[in-house]
Amino acid sequence: MFGLFKKDPVKELEKRYAELMEQAMKKQQNGDIEGYSNLTFKAEEVLKEIEKIKKN
């Protein structure tokens, strides 16, 4: 019953991943390759967390 209002951490991480990838795409379009690389690295780290949670 108390778990009814508990947020799903995977959904939150997936939302964060999508946001990071969108920001990275905008950086790439503007020619900021270093910013793009940094954001995609962060997005990959979030993706690893998602995979880790899904395995458990």
Cβ-in-10-Å burial (0-12, 13-18, 19+) of 20 comes to buried
Q: Tell me if 33 is assigned to some domain.
A: yes
**Residue, of 17 and 2, whose pLDDT is higher:** 17
Q: What is the pLDDT of residue 6?
A: 77
Question: Per-residue pLDDT tens for 9-28?
Answer: 999 999 999 999 999 999 99
Per-residue confidence (pLDDT) for residue 13, from 0 to 100: 97
Return the amino acid letter for 12: E
Q: Look at residue 29 and tell me if it is in a domain.
A: yes
- Residue 3, domain member (yes or no): no
Is 2 contained in some domain? no
Q: Are 9 and 53 in contact, with CB atoms under 8 Å apart?
A: yes
Domain count, the chain: 1
Domain that holds residue 42: 8-55
Q: Give this prediction's pTM.
A: 0.85
Flag whether 1 is in a domain. no
Is position 32 within any domain? yes
pLDDT of 3 > 90? The answer is no
In a domain, 21, yes or no: yes
Burial of 42 (0-12, 13-18, 19+ CB in 10 A): middle
